[in-house]
Amino acid sequence: MTALAPASTSRTVDLPGGLSLTVNEFGANTEGSCVLYLHGGAGFRSMIGIATALSEHVYGIVPIHPGFDGTPRPEWCDTIADLAVAYLDLLDTLDLTGVMVVGNSLGGWIAAEMALRDTRGRIGALTLLNAVGIHAHLKENEVLDVRTLAPTEITELSFANPAFRPDFSSFSDEQRAGMAANQRTLATYAGEAFSHDPKLRGRLHRVTVPVLVAWGEEDGIARPAYGRGYAKSFPNGHFVPVPDAGHFPHIEQLGSTLAAIGDFVDTVVKPGAAA
């Protein structure tokens, strides 16, 4: 995974209800807007590369989901819906509007749930990167249940290019313990169905903001057909395949992913703004 960039800063933001969030910030908040990057089970570091790449153009926030990477998680905070509300509270607390929420895997699920609950118009667009969260009504398996797999098996399915796969044999005991703790937190949030809410897809017609669904074509966790089904669930959904990438297109093919987001902004979110 990409290391934390020196240009970022980290702080704790206290939210209503007693929840404290650790957030990493990139760039300067000069326009009262931002890109909110939501990680999946791989942790917040998996979003650092894309946040760094866009930091020259837009203020970015990469929060750590409570319970990941040693951060505290109140017992009541144990569902995707809880995280969605927490991040909407974060946008309220920081008074941000026109926010693009970029979510990978579980983070994409959170982003979709946020858009359903955004009663104050904080969100301007969504970008879902190999997101989970829905039942796409496919004949094949929807999303692979990784709870039964070894870490090496998961990475083989997640990355098209072996060079991006972590070498777990080099991990310290502390790193292994941290990874195991993150997976337990992931399982808590994902719930019994683990990869989706059976009712979510039927609600997404209420999401009116533009949605980009960018998908690594070589993903062994969630296939492109699932991503196409996700995009079709939104009234203004747009599907873009990312070749030579797996479950983390923003890591394996950062340039292609940035190009897809840029085209989405120029042609759908803010058409004519650059003219």
Sign of CA dihedral 210, 228, 103, 7: negative
pLDDT score for 195: 85
- List the domain boundaries for the chain: 9-269
pLDDT score for 241: 98
Sign of CA dihedral 22, 69, 230, 80: negative
CA distance 3 to 179: 16
pLDDT score for 3: 42
pLDDT along the chain (275 residues), means of 10: 61 94 96 97 96 96 97 96 98 98 98 98 98 78 83 95 94 95 94 87 97 97 94 97 98 98 97 69
Closest Cα partner for 117 from 206, 34, 40? Answer: 206
pLDDT score for 4: 43
- Mapped to the 3 state alphabet, what secondary structure does 232-244 carry? HCCCCEEEEEECC
pLDDT score for 274: 56
Amino acid at 12: T
Provide the 8-state DSSP code for 18: G
pLDDT score for 144: 86
Which CATH number describes the domain made up of 9-269? 3.40.50.1820
Residue 153 host element (H or E): helix 151-158
Contact 145, 221 (CB under 8 A): no
pLDDT score for 77: 96
Q: Assign 14 to helix, strand or coil.
A: strand
**Token output for 7:** 């240009």
Closest Cα partner for 56 from 37, 20, 28? Answer: 28
pLDDT score for 139: 56
